[in-house]
Structure 1
């Protein structure tokens, strides 16, 4: 019976040894996986930091571009205001000119009539001269 006891203990020891071997292999694979995961996470941290830096730079450039556009819009607004003032000045000039033409209209009509009368008299005078 002692032999069976020794064989049982030996069988338990062998089974325990096999269990320990598989457990060691499993733990080594888990360790390799964790190391690979650690490297991957470190790489991702580096990439996230780079993305953060690039995003910050892009944000600064975008703000600078927005400021530039704002300044240009203000310049355009001033230009449009100036054009509007020039238009108003031209309109005032046109109104003034129209008023002057309106007040001098009778004088112009009279001058045209005198011119026509002069041309008519001159034409008659030329015809008489030809006939004489």
Structure 2
């Protein structure tokens, strides 16, 4: 029985030795994996630092762009208000022109006969004026030309020929 006891102790010792060797291999493998994970995490940390810097710069540029858009939007609002004012002024001017036009039309309609008489009298006056001009022209053409003037005209014509 003592042999069984020694054999059992030897089997237990071999099993413990095998267990220690297996645990040692497993721990080495885990250490290698953890070293690889640590290296990967270092790379990720560096990338995250770069991403954080780029994100901060992008956020800063976005804020500047938003402020610029806000200023330009306010300036554009001023322009739009001015254009609206011009449109309102033109609309008021159109209303005034329509009012004046309708007022003139009404006055012309009321005084249509008077206007027709004025036109007739002005035509008669123009006709009389033309006749007076024609008579004056005929009188000027009918007057005899002095002799001296004719002689000067002849002398000039001779000097040119």
Please, what TM-score do these two structures have when normalized by structure 1? 0.69
Q: What whole-Å deviation, never above 9, does each CA across 1:86-119 have from its counterpart, x for those lacking one?
A: 1122122212211221222011333456658xx8
The structure showing larger relative contact order (alpha-carbon pairs under 8 Å, at least 6 residues apart) is 2
Q: CA RMSD in A?
A: 3.0
Offset at residue 12 of structure 1 (A): 5.3
Partners in 2 of 1:22 and 1:112 — Cα distance? Answer: 121
Larger radius of gyration: 2
The aligned residue for residue 123 of structure 1 is none
Distance, in Å, in 1 between the alignment partners of 2:106 and 2:19 is 125
1:124 alignment partner in structure 2? none
Further displaced range: 94-103 or 34-43 = 94-103
Of 28, 33, 44, the residue aligned with 1:21 is: 28
Quick one: which of 68, 80, 85 aligns to 1:61?
68
Deviations 1:20-65 (A, max 9, x none): 4323212210110110111121122112212211211121122112
Q: Is residue 73 of structure 1 aligned with residue 104 of structure 2? A: no
Please say if 1:94 is aligned against 2:97. Answer: no
Unaligned runs of 5+ in 1: 120-132
Aligned length: 118
